[in-house]
């Protein structure tokens, strides 16, 4: 509580005395907050607890900043925001209520039903439009699962993946046009995200790990090439790629 009070006091001083902080609005902070969130995600993927601590602090500052602006606009203050999440999240859960749950799936299902009772018209209302497409696909599938809109087993999901790949190949071979090809490619990705869920893989995390591996190996090629890459053959670059693979 002492640390949080200190942060609130610092925010008050920054808003009063710093030209940059005085200038900020909720709109101007939005992209900065997104950037900080991605930096936290990077630290988590790197298992960097020092970085996680720092990024949590940065994000916490942003939350306090939004609350400060909300208070200035006579909309809400930080206490209002904290009380709201306490009233929304905790008393409604099985821990504080009479609802009986047996596992994690029951908890998620109960939570989605509670949100519908609060007036949401769709299970998918809570999925932000601005989420990256792969994350959004995963979240939508997770939510519709709560009402039983789900394949029964992994084999069915993989069959769907193969079906979508076949439709993509057909669209390409029969030259159905770029829009149709794009749609079929999207179906393949969506079905692969679904398969990832069934085998316990977070597709966004999995792809980011591969991105990092690719970046590391390609940078090894750049660092060890004896001449400009544009002058090398693919076989020469591939040999260095295999060297990089052997080092990790």
- Give the pLDDT confidence of 3-50 residue by residue, as tens digits: 999 999 999 999 999 999 999 999 999 999 999 999 999 999 899 999
pTM above 0.75, yes or no: no
Q: Which long-range contacts (CB under 8 A, 24 or more apart) does 141-146 make?
A: 141/193, 141/194, 141/197, 142/108, 142/197, 143/112, 146/108, 146/109, 146/112, 146/113
Model pLDDT, residue 40: 95
**Nearest by Cα to 81 from 186, 180, 8:** 8
Is-contact 247 220, C-beta < 8 A?
yes
Supply the DSSP symbol for 205. H
pLDDT higher at 147 or 80:
80
Encoded tokens for 126:
């809570």
pLDDT, tens digit (0-9, with 9 covering 90-100), for 77-127: 999 999 998 887 665 555 555 556 666 666 666 666 666 666 677 889 889
How far is residue 126 from each of residues 142, 144, 191, measured CA to CA in Å?
Answer: 12, 12, 21
Encoded tokens for 35:
């950037």
């Amino acid at each position: 509580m002492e640390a949080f009070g200190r942060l609130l006091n610092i925010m008050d001083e920054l808003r009063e005395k710093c030209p940059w902080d005085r200038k900020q609005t909720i709109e101007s902070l939005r992209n900065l907050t997104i950037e900080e969130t991605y930096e936290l995600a990077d630290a988590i993927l790197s298992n960097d607890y020092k970085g996680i601590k720092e990024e949590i602090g940065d994000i916490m500052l942003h939350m306090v900043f939004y609350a400060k602006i909300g208070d200035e606009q006579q909309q809400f203050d930080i206490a209002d925001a904290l009380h709201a999440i306490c009233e929304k999240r905790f008393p409604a859960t099985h821990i504080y209520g009479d609802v009986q749950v047996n596992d994690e799936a029951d908890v998620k299902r109960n939570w989605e039903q509670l949100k519908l009772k609060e007036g949401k018209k769709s299970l998918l209302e809570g999925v932000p439009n601005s989420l990256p497409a792969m994350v959004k696909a995963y979240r939508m599938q997770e939510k519709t699962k709560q009402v039983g809109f789900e394949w029964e087993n992994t084999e069915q999901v993989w069959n769907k993946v193969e079906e979508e790949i076949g439709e993509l190949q057909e669209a390409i071979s029969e030259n159905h046009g770029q829009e149709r090809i794009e749609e079929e490619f999207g179906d393949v990705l969506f079905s692969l995200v679904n398969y990832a869920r069934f085998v316990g893989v977070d597709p966004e995390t999995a792809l980011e790990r591969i991105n990092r591996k690719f970046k590391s190996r390609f940078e090894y090629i750049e660092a060890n090439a004896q001449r400009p890459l544009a002058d090398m053959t693919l076989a020469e670059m591939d040999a260095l790629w295999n060297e990089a693979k052997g080092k990790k």
